Amino acid sequence: MRALLCTFLLGTVLISPLAPALAAPSCGTGSFDGWLAAFKTEAVGKGISEKTVDAALTGVTLDNSVLSRDRGQQVFKQSFEEFSGRMVPPRLRRGSDMLKRYGSVLGRIEQQYGVPGPVLVAIWGLETDYGVNVGKFPTIRAIASLAYDCRRAEMFRGELLDALRIVDRGDLAPAEMHGAWAGEIGQTQFMPSSYLKFAVDFDGNGHRDLLRSAPDVLASTANYLASYGWKRDQDFAPGTANFAVIQQWNKSEVYSKTIATFASQLAKEP
């Protein structure tokens, strides 16, 4: 969901870990397989293990459906009333249930990061229906396709390197990484760069798992907001400092206002 609203605003080879890194491969030049071969060498040269590079990138092919989606985006035209009226009411009851179900976890998260449970649950519900719809696109393939394409090559080359680093540090295996077409991962849709910066192991199992662990998902989302200056025990209505933080989550004012409205309604639920 965030990709839809944000983006308009804003060959297998042998690799020697001792070989010098190639210059970053130019977007859209030559075949995808040739580009990928050069990228593999670049990734190893930047400290990503050969094992990870081979496991994640061997056999990856260009996904033209991802490129079509990226080029075919249209400006989001729904008003706040239209969008919030469509998105919030169907998710309100389950959101209230999630507040109760994870009340203890959310309380500990608020104590540590200062972000209240209703805000986190609102984001969770709007992004993926509380983890039900995380996306089905293979993340590595999607990002590699966007990195090869010249529209936003530099951005997505960085995201591809960060996706490999997630694998390298043991959080997720390449085959587990499925999400939105633009590369967002997990139940609140983190890009790989945000996953690396903000994901936390809140359930204490040794992995930052934003696909399956609700405590990790909620705490990581709180960590993201706190890192952008969330102010504890203060309002988050439009015009406040905390609303400006919500806009760091999603720069669309319609989406940000919907998060704030949804969270306010959840906070009033018995």
Report the catalytic residues.
127
What amino acid occupies position 77?
K
Answer yes or no: are the C-beta atoms of 201 and 207 closer than 8 Å.
Answer: yes
H/E stretch holding 178: strand 178-179
Tokens read off for 14: 């042998």
Map residue 190 onto helix, strand or coil. strand
Name all contacts of 69-74 with Cβ < 8 Å and 24+ positions apart.
69/181, 69/182, 70/7, 70/146, 70/149, 70/151, 70/152, 70/181, 70/182, 71/151, 73/4, 73/7, 73/8, 74/8
- Determine the Cα–Cα distance for residues 195 and 108; give it in Å rounded to an integer: 21
Name all contacts of 12-21 with Cβ < 8 Å and 24+ positions apart.
12/54, 12/58, 12/59, 13/37, 13/40, 13/41, 15/40, 15/41, 15/44, 15/50, 15/53, 15/54, 17/44, 17/49, 17/50, 19/44, 19/45, 20/45, 21/45, 21/46
Map residue 87 onto helix, strand or coil. helix
- Determine the Cα–Cα distance for residues 185 and 128; give it in Å rounded to an integer: 10
